[in-house]
Structure 1
Amino acid sequence: MQNSSESIIGGLVEAAPRPLTIRLHRDDDVVIAREQLVGGARLSEEGVTVSGLIPPGHKIATRAIAQGEAVRRYGQIIGFASRAIQAGEHVHIHNLAMGEFDRDYGFCAASRATDHAGTPATFEGIVRADGRVATRNYIGILTSVNCSATVARAIADHFRRDTNPESLAPYPNIDGVVALTHGVGCAVDPEGEGLALLQRTLGGYAAHPNFAGVLVIGLGCETNQIARIMETQGLVEAPFLRTFNIQETGGTAKTVAHGIERIEEMLEAANRVQRRPVPASHLIVGLQCGGSDGYSGISANPALGAAVDLLVAHGGTAILSETPEIYGAEHLLTRRAVSREVGEKLVARIHWWEDYCARNRAAMNNNPSAGNKAGGLTTVLEKSLGGIAKAGNTNLVEVYEYAQRVTAKGLVFMDTPGYDPISATGQVAGGANLICFTTGRGSAYGCSPTPSLKIATNDALWNRQQEDMDLNCGPILSGQKSIGQMGAELFQLMLDTASGKRSRSEMHGYGQNEFVPWQIGAIT
């Protein structure tokens, strides 16, 4: 990336004019506007003149491109010219489209030995009796079916610190009581993939170390029977994992009272936790990007990738997800796979998605969203290439299906949709105890019981929506900080947040409504 330079004039150091654009790779056919450009502006570093208005974060052609010719950004194909494009012209949805092209998967070709840090980083974690390490200390209420959602929320509302402060006043070490509800659980195939996936998600949350205790509440007659959840997920009722349903407990009011009593029985013991130093190897970080823009793949995503490389060097785990948003860039991950088997697993998930979209008469390129396009992203190929920058440069060590428990150390991939709440829900079910979420357009998101850090790609977003952002990567665009410097700063913020520092989303109370299990299969 080009940065500002300095020249010496009359004995004084004077900053040379900052280039108007950013070039990401010498083979690229486009550069990215740092700010809004108007027709006639001269891009001296590229030797072209801008034609028309170019919004910030959008692409400008650096050469004449013939219709049908491949267009490159990051040194990779992001689409094909749908008509002839002149040098200096705006490159976007009006002249750039998807197209088929071969990808060289080159399994394991770029795999390399991991450089481990000499002195492991630590954070102040909560160590459970069985050795699991938590970053937060919640009590959770899960539901087997939508029919028990209202009861679950009523129980959690009783323990809200803003409306009933006395309920948790004696228990300062408890982060809160949260109800994580959903809209399914009945009228589905009892042996189908959809119900199995929901049960796996609920099981992952029930066993999550960030929960000191859990209630699982049902109606009683639903397809998703609690007994079946417990059986398939290897769960056993215990003092800190209680289950019951409305029909057997005696109705709504009695069930709410019963739930409040069960939680009150947990509070004293749940409050008896103390944070202590633990290695960063206990961190499992879910990687997310939402509301992406043309700067996401230049600033925040590479900075997060640099932080991931540090995390892996210290023995930790990072979960890359959002399969439709690596589409067209998956070959860059298969080349980093530690084995052909791992690489083939990733390719198999891509093929599943191609078939899934075909069955539902959808296209993989229904992504990017309207907001992504307004921010400068044109095709899913371009979005994917910027998105995988979150994964840094480390090896891909394993591939998981949605909500599967993550046990490997290092960079792993979990198959999820691109929709952030569904994707992050799967990551947390897999064990993520921290989420890092980059955004260029802005985001309001949280993910109980796991803290979520939101990382802005540019100064304009930071200045506009700072109350929702935890870190600004805009200084990368201005040349004030390098990607490595920003990555180190983010890694430290990850450690601080895992140690108990509250994220902006936690301060605003986000997290309960963002629990969204992936719904697949027929509902009858």
Structure 2
Amino acid sequence: MSTQASVASAIIRLHPGDDVIIATRQLLPGTRIDAEQLVVTGLIPPGHKIATRDIAKGEPVKRYNQIIGVAREAIARGQHVHVQNLGMSEFAREHVFGVDAQPTAYVKEPAHFMGIRRGDGRIATRNYIGILTSVNCSATVARAIADHFRRDVHPDALADYPNVDGVIALTHGLGCGIDTQGEGIRILRRTLAGYAVHPNFASVLFVGLGCETNQIDGVLEAGGLGSSDLKLRSFTIQDSGGTRKTIERGIAMVQEMLADANRIQRVPVPASHLSIGLQCGGSDGYSGISANPALGAAVDRVVRHGGTAILSETPEIYGAEHLLTRRAVSPAVGEKLLARIAWWQDYCARNGGALDNNPSAGNKAGGLTTILEKSLGAVAKGGTTNLVDVYEYAQPVAAKGLVFMDSPGYDPVSATGQVASGANVICFTTGRGSAYGCAPSPSLKFATNNTLWERQADDIDLNCGGVIDGSASIDELGEAIFQMMLDCASGTRTKSELHGYGQSEFVPWQVGVVT
């Protein structure tokens, strides 16, 4: 075989103990990698893995110095390692608690951002009026009420209210045909209650049909909310006399809310009021090398400044949870995380699924082979500080520091739960490309590679591909992301906000039986 000239910086080795290296560009058969003293024996797409030694069938394969699967057949040194020869494996993971926990090195002079201080002391990063629905049956009227105030359709509708970011309707497909005492309705009510009191809403209007299982009073009761609060008003279609009258009534109510919502000003507040929801979607082989650890470096800064970061997507930390339990501040916190993993294992079993049905087709095209590999890269978003608590989906997050909130890996469902838990900014990494936004909390998106940035810069707020080509460091990007968080929380609009994303991405988690 004739070999090409040796290619410098064509690969990344993540750990001396790894059995694979990662291609930073497409490599042709015969390419010589002098740093590893090997010759590539097949076509290697960018972001994909190359074996650095001969691996026997059934032998475990390591990346990040962690097992990412076992060889399904013998793999030769220099060969492409992917779905054709690497498979998922079950193996014992040592779940020890707190051995890597360290005291947090808080900064002496925390950073500030220009936030909105509500009358009760809560801090907002945006200033919306929200329209929530108790059931799918009221979704159309809710959207019609909000559409009356759309600046792109009715430019003068909010002309007198420049401090109001908009009137948005968050609708869903649930609310009836559901067990009144079951887990499904508890999660739905917890989610809606979390949005109803989110500080990014100046006021909220709740619209129902009237006869649904998920009664508005039930939502308010579940969230400990008062129906007499003028900032939280509700009514139903049946009581209002039908669709047209309901829309007219809702428009009039929002009109009454606007003047009060407009009477705000941004003031300097400490970064301890940041609550960052961490997401990754459309991941690739670079996610765990560039954007995820860069976001993790920013998260470490958020924590040191007294703020909160919410890691989620339980099926996408599966296989890496042992790294989080090592950072748990107590055995109780570690056990709470393992309890959520156990819940998912049972949930998948009784629904005929499996936690290792990931990665997606796009993930695999980008170089990820097993859920173990994907999870090990995904946990990097959580940085290096202690895991201080674990929450169920949409539970209010009270702790400061890095926490975990249980959720599916599906981004809209997961981020919906994070916002319900109090996240006032979402940070979203992507390697394949994402067109996601979130309301009422703004969503920043970070590309893992230069190619994505060049192709989809219209949707991405920051490129982390410099880690791959050596033009930027994880720490430099972590600082840049932290500053973007502060700017975003101060009112700087994200790419997804400029495109109008956010209303359609409200997707509460549906787990209950629908009858």
Normalising by the smaller structure, the TM-score range is over 0.9
Query: Is 1:235 aligned to 2:225, yes or no?
Result: yes
CA offsets 1:285-311 (integer angstroms, 9 cap, x no match) = 000000000000000000000000000
Work out which of the residue numbers 55, 63, 73 in structure 1 matches 2:53: 63
Work out which of the residue numbers 493, 497, 505 in structure 1 matches 2:488: 497
Give the superposition deviation at 1:17. 6.8
Q: Hey, what's the Cα distance between the residues in 2 that align with 1:296 and 1:255?
A: 47
In structure 1, the partner of 2:210 is 220
Q: Hey, what's the Cα distance between the residues in 1 that align with 2:290 and 2:482?
A: 15
Q: Match of 2:137, SS?
A: helix
Query: Is 1:508 aligned to 2:499, yes or no?
Result: yes
Within-5 A mapping of 1:210-289: 210-237=200-227, 238-289=229-280
Query: Is 1:439 aligned to 2:430, yes or no?
Result: yes
Query: Is 1:86 aligned to 2:76, yes or no?
Result: yes
Equivalent position amino acid for 1:46 in 2: E
Give the superposition deviation at 1:155. 0.2
Work out which of the residue numbers 438, 445, 452 in structure 2 matches 1:461: 452
8 Å CA contact 2:318–2:372 kept in 1: the answer is yes
In structure 2, the partner of 1:400 is 391
Give the superposition deviation at 1:226. 0.7
8 Å CA contact 2:8–2:33 kept in 1: the answer is no
Query: Is 1:105 aligned to 2:99, yes or no?
Result: no
CA offsets 1:41-70 (integer angstroms, 9 cap, x no match) = 011101111011000000000000000000
Equivalent position amino acid for 2:75 in 1: I
Query: Is 1:341 aligned to 2:332, yes or no?
Result: yes
Give the superposition deviation at 1:19. 1.9
Within-5 A mapping of 1:471-482: 471-482=462-473
Q: Hey, what's the Cα distance between the residues in 2 that align with 1:382 and 1:272?
A: 49
Query: Is 1:175 aligned to 2:165, yes or no?
Result: yes
Query: Is 1:150 aligned to 2:140, yes or no?
Result: yes
Give the superposition deviation at 1:344. 0.3
Give the superposition deviation at 1:105. 1.2
Q: Hey, what's the Cα distance between the residues in 2 that align with 1:17 and 1:204?
A: 53
In structure 2, the partner of 1:5 is none
Point out the more displaced range, 324-333 or 18-27.
18-27
Q: Match of 2:244, SS?
A: helix
Q: CA RMSD in A?
A: 0.8
Q: Hey, what's the Cα distance between the residues in 1 that align with 2:473 and 2:307?
A: 23
Work out which of the residue numbers 32, 39, 49 in structure 1 matches 2:29: 39
In structure 1, the partner of 2:178 is 188
Point out the more displaced range, 362-371 or 280-289.
362-371
Query: Is 1:119 aligned to 2:106, yes or no?
Result: no
Q: Hey, what's the Cα distance between the residues in 2 that align with 1:115 and 1:67?
A: 46
Work out which of the residue numbers 360, 385, 398 in structure 2 matches 1:369: 360
CA offsets 1:161-183 (integer angstroms, 9 cap, x no match) = 01111110110100000000000
Q: Hey, what's the Cα distance between the residues in 2 that align with 1:123 and 1:362?
A: 44
In structure 2, the partner of 1:331 is 322
Which TM-score applies when normalising by structure 1? 0.97
Q: Hey, what's the Cα distance between the residues in 1 that align with 2:433 and 2:462?
A: 12
Structure 1 residue runs of 4 or more that deviate by more than 6 Å after TM superposition: none
Equivalent position amino acid for 1:186 in 2: C
Give the superposition deviation at 1:18. 3.6
Give the superposition deviation at 1:429. 0.1
Q: Which runs of 5+ in 1 are unaligned?
A: 1-15
Q: Match of 2:385, SS?
A: coil
Q: Hey, what's the Cα distance between the residues in 2 that align with 1:466 and 1:202?
A: 33
CA offsets 1:116-147 (integer angstroms, 9 cap, x no match) = 01210000000000000000000000000000
In structure 1, the partner of 2:299 is 308
8 Å CA contact 2:7–2:32 kept in 1: the answer is no
In structure 1, the partner of 2:118 is 128
Q: Hey, what's the Cα distance between the residues in 2 that align with 1:25 and 1:337?
A: 24
